[in-house]
Structure 1
Amino acid sequence: MKHYIKLLRPKHWAKNLFLFVPSFFAGKFFEVDKIALLAGGFIAFSLLASSIYIINDYNDVEDDKKHPEKCKRPLASGAVKKNYALALSILLTITGLATAFFLDSSGKFLFVTLIYYCMNLSYSFGLKNISIVDILIVATGFVLRVKGGAILSEVNTTEWFIIMTFLLALFMAIAKRRDDVILKMSTGTEMRKSMKGYSLDFLNTLLGLFCAILIVSYVNYTMSPVTYKKFGYRAYYTSLFVIAALMRYLQITFIHNKAGSPTDVLYKDRFIQVTIVLWAISFFVILYLRDLTFFDK
């Protein structure tokens, strides 16, 4: 049973917490009906994501056997039979889409999940081998999670919010590709065909570029008229935590060369965990405790 659970990659379900972000920033995080819908959305996305992971592992089983870590995956190690894994993937897909269908009568959430599923299916069957396209698809997946959360929460997402979600996901995807390039340089093993379109210098340049763009975009967002109208001047204080987290991620990437999986970094690195918690608390105070006497309205 543990091999089947590992096959689902439950650790990566944390990415689907992005569904809750629009509700949080709209001040509706504690509305029970919205949370119930978002929890259902989280389940739907998690089931579909696990289905895609299985298909990806199914297609990459021979390449994974050559990887120092991926060779331990259930399919690559032979712990789970390929036909059983494929049957499980089909079951997860049907259940995930059915869940999405029942959550939203308008069909919009189902439409988003279908786009997410088809896009990632295309990724698994070939688009992941095209450099630049591969990381753009990864980043778009996070945007779709946010859009799905906005639909279930019945809130609007601003252009700034979508842009920053995309940039953050793209930044982390680039860091992961850099780790793959370093692995290729040290072992001589090319784990992805898309690696032919990447070099260490190219990815280092992209990381620095998108980190700068992300910081500038976030600061501009906190000082934009829409944000000022909603949160007042206090939102720009949260820039400190964003900058600190990005600096730490760069440190992990360039100094420690351990940016292989953004999810693993999130689970293991205490510094980033603390900055995320402080960032969330600061926005929680601004949004939900705005009438405290030590805050100006």
Structure 2
Amino acid sequence: MFLTITQSKLPTWIRLIRPHQWVKNLFIFIPSFFAGIFTDLNIFVHLSIGFVAFCCAASAIYIFNDISDLENDLLHPAKKHRPIASGKISVTTAYLMMALLILASFGISLLLPAQFLWVISFYIIFNVFYSLGLKHVAILDIMIVASGFVFRTIGGGIIADVTVSKWLILMIFLLALFLALAKRLDDLLMETKTGIISTKNVGKYNIPYINSGITMLAGIMIVCYIMYSMSDDVMGGAHSDNIYLTSIFVIAGILRYLQILLVERKGWSPTRVLYKDLFIIITIILWALSFVYILYF
């Protein structure tokens, strides 16, 4: 609720580009963090440039998605207050902002390795098709959302010039699928409480199906993380065989999120959890600190 109220007080054009969603772009820093080179100032600066490029691209996609959903948003009791649906920003102006953001994203990407431009281009193309209709195809919708996190991770590896482990890519994809299903559960719980239908394909999911999927992905994700932390390239790069100990915090964090979804039935979206749940916040901080200690000290 606090996040919603805070957003409503922001200028209209800032609400349109959804800066609170930029936290997802932090995945670009993951390869360098796991490689133990996160403190390299030159790499950090270049990754920050890549972060800004992804922020511009993501905001452009959010604008295009709002334009594509305009008719449905006008009928939605909450989404009708969005900048475009409310008429505060015209469709023409929105298209202009989207174009400028895409140009900014491409322009910034030119400061980075050439392969990064390809990554961000594919990210934009995938999401354009998602907004044009693929978001209404059940299962494919969450897989496209998950691919966005993989693109961010691969882009970070290109900038930092590190090989992204297959285990890491798989783990990121599983995590993103897990969070995407959690978002669908949030939509279903909202529909149950208020009768508001958030997406056209929400009817192709139900709570037992999503609960099963979330539980399955949680288990696979934990195993994948443990396998990643015990792989030769990770232990060799970290010069330590204690990385597996950080799995304690991963397990605790996943169990807490499952508790929020399946026991407390709060149906919080993944982004909201990062801002609201103290247990999750502390767990992430402890996980990061333990990783930093093992890798850097």
> Structure 2 length normalisation: TM-score?
0.92
Residue 77 of structure 1: how far off its partner (Å): 2.5
Which position in structure 1 is the counterpart of 2:12? 3
Which position in structure 2 is the counterpart of 1:140? 147
Q: How does 1:55-134 map to 2 (within 5 A)?
A: 55-104=64-113, 107-134=114-141
- 1:166 is aligned to 2:173: yes
Which position in structure 1 is the counterpart of 2:158? 151
How many pairs align?
A: 287
Do the aligned partners of 2:27 and 2:153 also contact (CA within 8 Å) in 1? yes
SS of residue in 1 equivalent to 2:85: helix
Q: Which one-letter code corresponds to 2:104 in the other structure?
A: T
Superposition RMSD on alpha carbons, in Å? 1.5
Do the aligned partners of 2:36 and 2:237 also contact (CA within 8 Å) in 1? no
- Structure 1 runs of 4+ aligned residues shifted over 6 Å read none
Residue 225 of structure 1: how far off its partner (Å): 2.8
Percentage of matched positions with identical amino acids:
45
Query: Can you list the C-alpha shifts for 1:233-290, whole angstroms capped at 9, x where unaligned?
Result: 211111111011111111221233334421121122221111111101101011100x
Q: Which one-letter code corresponds to 1:28 in the other structure?
A: I
Which runs of 5 or more residues in structure 2 are unaligned? 1-9
- 1:246 is aligned to 2:264: no
Residue 119 of structure 1: how far off its partner (Å): 0.3
> Structure 1 length normalisation: TM-score?
0.92
Q: Residues of 2 paired with 1:179 and 1:287: CA distance?
A: 36
Do the aligned partners of 1:184 and 1:190 also contact (CA within 8 Å) in 2? yes
Q: How does 1:1-297 map to 2 (within 5 A)?
A: 2-104=11-113, 107-231=114-238, 232-289=240-297
Query: Can you list the C-alpha shifts for 1:173-193, whole angstroms capped at 9, x where unaligned?
Result: 001101112222333333212
Q: Residues of 1 paired with 2:294 and 2:11: CA distance?
A: 42
Residue 226 of structure 1: how far off its partner (Å): 2.8
Which runs of 5 or more residues in structure 1 are unaligned? 290-297
Do the aligned partners of 1:44 and 1:100 also contact (CA within 8 Å) in 2? yes
SS of residue in 1 equivalent to 2:110: helix
Change (3 A) 1:122 1:260: farther
SS of residue in 1 equivalent to 2:150: helix
